[in-house]
Amino acid sequence: MAPQTVLITGCSSGIGLATAVMLAKDKQSRFKVYATMRNLNSKTKLEEAVGNTLNKTLLIRELDVTKDSTIKSVVDEILRDNGRIDVLVNNAGYMGLDAIDQKSLEWCQKMMDTDYWGVVRVTRAVLPAMKTQKSGRIICVTSMAGIRAVPFFATYSSAKFAVEGFCESMAPMLRDGYNIRVSIVEPGPVQTELITEVMGQPVEEQAEDFPPILKESCIEGLKHLMANDFAVIQGADEIAKVHMDIILSENPHLRYQTSEALTKMAAEKLRDPTTDFLLNVLRK
C-alpha cells in the first residue's frame, strides 16, 4: 500500500517540525511528508532531526502561506509525483502582544494574513484534489486562545477564533459530501521557539510603551497567566502524537484539546468538548 502523502506548513521548528519528524520516522513507513517552511535558510534544525529519512520519507520545500505561487508550486509537485494529497496539516503561524490597540492595523493585518488567511489559502489549494479522490484529512492547529481569548493578544486570539469558525463551517459539508475529515487541534502553551520568543521577553519590556493604566494591567495580568494557565507547558512531540492519532483514526473528532487540563477549560465553555454534535447540523 502506498504511503499517505502529507503536507505540513510551518516546519522550521516547534509543532510543525515535531509532526514532520514523527510521521517521517514512522516504523511502518505509512507516510511521505512534504515539510514546508517560509524560508529554506531555516531548514537546518529539521534536517538534523529527521536524519536519514531526509529525501526519502521527508522532503523539505519552501512554502509561504501568504504567497499563492509558493503554495501552488508545492501542491502541484505533490500531485505530479504522487497523484493525490491525503493529509494537510495547517500549522504555520505566529503570535504577538498587541493589547487591543497598541499595534498598527498593518501589524494586525499581517498576523491575520498568516494565521488565518494562510490557512484558507492552503486549504483551498488542496481541496480540488481531495474532492476528486473523495478522501482526505485536514488538520488545523489553532490554540486554546481560539476557544477562550487571551487578554492582551487580541489579534492572535481573533485569528484563532477565525480558523475555528472556518473549520467548523466546512467540516460537515466536506465530511458528508466528499469524505474529507476536518479536525481542529487546540494546544495550550507548547515549549517551542515561538513561545520562548514571546513569553521569554520580560512583560515590562513588551509593555514599556503602553499607557500607564494598560501597562499596569498587562504586567499584572500576564504574570498571573504565566503562573496559572501557562504553568503547565507541553512538549511539541505531544502535539505531534495527537496529529498522528487523528490521521490514523477511522472517525476523528472535530476538536481535540491536547491535555486533560485543556479539555476541562474547553468544557467550561462548550457542552461537549469534542463538539462532534456540530458535524450533524446538516442532518435532520
Q: What are phi and psi of 139, to 5 degrees?
A: -115, 125
Walk along the chain (284 residues) in steps of 10 and give the mean pLDDT of each run. Answer: 95 96 97 98 97 97 98 98 98 90 94 98 98 98 92 94 98 97 94 62 75 83 71 88 98 95 88 86 71
CA distance 160 to 147: 8
Catalytic residue among 34, 94, 116, 156: 156
CA distance 9 to 22: 15
CA distance 65 to 122: 7
**225 to each of 150, 228, 235, how far by Cα in Å?**
9, 5, 19
Handedness of CA 264, 268, 269, 270 (dihedral sign): positive
Q: What are the tens digits of pLDDT across the range 195-227?
A: 556 555 677 777 778 888 888 888 887 777 766
CA distance 283 to 33: 35
Strand 58-62's sheet: what is its strand order? Answer: 58-62, 31-37, 4-8, 87-90, 136-141, 180-186, 255-257
User: Closest Cα to residue 22, out of 75, 89, 72?
Assistant: 89
237 Cβ contact partners less than 8 Å away, ≥ 6 residues apart: 18, 22
Q: What are the tens digits of pLDDT across the range 70-85?
A: 999 999 999 999 999 9
Q: In this predicted structure, what is the pLDDT of residue 225?
A: 73
Look-up: residue for cell 492552503? 122
Q: In this predicted structure, what is the pLDDT of residue 165?
A: 97
CA distance 180 to 82: 18
Model confidence, pTM: 0.92
**179 to each of 30, 123, 205, 250, how far by Cα in Å?**
20, 15, 49, 11
Q: For strands 190-191 and 87-90, give the pairing.
A: unpaired
CA angle (216 as vertex; 93, 99 as ends), nearest 5: 25
CA distance 191 to 197: 10
Q: In this predicted structure, what is the pLDDT of residue 87?
A: 98
Q: In this predicted structure, what is the pLDDT of residue 97?
A: 86
User: Known catalytic residue: 156?
Assistant: yes
CA distance 267 to 205: 34
